Structure 1
Amino acid sequence: MKATDTADFINSLNAGVFSQQVGKALSDVAAGVVEFGKQGQVTLTFKLKQIAQSQQVAVTHTLDFVQPTKRGKKREDTTLDTPLYVTAEGLQLFLTNPTAQLFNEKDAPVHART
């Protein structure tokens, strides 16, 4: 099995929303760190559990961050699940390529006249 493409994995979680949430959290925490001179933290947690007896896993992904503020800190966390397939290419959202050609020319139900 190949190593999972990390960027593709993160972008697959919660239909890409998780990736946007991580980006926003990183930006907000970094801004708070620079503005107030205090330490911040962003934590990602992934828990995997097999779905029934299939080749799928439910990935429970948690984003937890602490953003420094003037008089303290702001903390937020979010947790959701995304089902992914375990393939030879690593963890993937789809078992096969959904944009691949469904039929090739020789399998076409109607052949062109010559």
Structure 2
Amino acid sequence: MKKTDVNDFFGSLNAGVFANQIGTALSDVGAGVVEFSKKGKVVITLEFSQIGESNQVKISHKLDYKVPTKRGSRSEDTALDTPMYVTPNGLELFQTNPTAQLFNREQTPVIPQDA
């Protein structure tokens, strides 16, 4: 099995929303750390469970972060699930290429008539 493409993996979680949330958390925590000279924290948790007896897994992804503020901190967390397939190319959203040609020319269900 090939290694999972990490950029594609995070981009697929919750249709790309999770990757955007991580970006926001990293920026907010970084800004708070620099502005208030206090420690911040970003925690990403991924839990995997098999779906039935298939080659599909449910990935529970959670983002939890703490932004330092002048008088303390503010925190936020979010959690959702995304199903993915375990394929020879690693973890992927689709088992097969959804944009691949369904039939080749010889297998077309309608045979063209000669003019």
TM-score, normalization: structure 2? 0.94
1:112 CA displacement: 5.8
Q: For residues 18-72 of structure 1, give each alpha carbon's deviation from its aligned partner in whole angstroms, at most 9, with x where no partner exists.
A: 0110011111111111111111111111000000111100000010101011110
Q: For residues 65-91 of structure 1, give each alpha carbon's deviation from its aligned partner in whole angstroms, at most 9, with x where no partner exists.
A: 010111101111111110000101110
The alignment-based identity, stated in percent, is: 58
One-letter amino acid of the structure 1 residue matched with residue 70 of structure 2: K
Indicate the SS of the match to 2:102. coil
The number of equivalent residue pairs is 114
* Residue number in structure 2 paired with 1:113: 114
1:106 CA displacement: 1.9
Indicate the SS of the match to 1:60. strand
Indicate the SS of the match to 1:2. coil
* Residue number in structure 1 paired with 2:7: 7
* Residue number in structure 1 paired with 2:78: 78
Structure 2 CA distance for partners of 1:21 and 1:112, relative to 1, 3 Å: farther
- After alignment, is 99-108 or 15-24 more displaced? 99-108
Gaps spanning 5+ residues in structure 2: where?
none
Indicate the SS of the match to 2:58. strand
Indicate the SS of the match to 2:35. helix
Taking the TM superposition and a 5 Å limit, the aligned residue runs for 1:1-114 are: 1-108=1-108, 109-111=110-112, 113=114
Indicate the SS of the match to 2:27. helix
- Paired with 2:81 and 2:49, the residues of 1 have a C-alpha distance of 10
1:17 CA displacement: 0.5
1:113 CA displacement: 2.9
Structure 1 runs (4+) deviating above 6 angstroms are none
- Paired with 2:114 and 2:36, the residues of 1 have a C-alpha distance of 74
Gaps spanning 5+ residues in structure 1: where?
none
Indicate the SS of the match to 2:83. strand
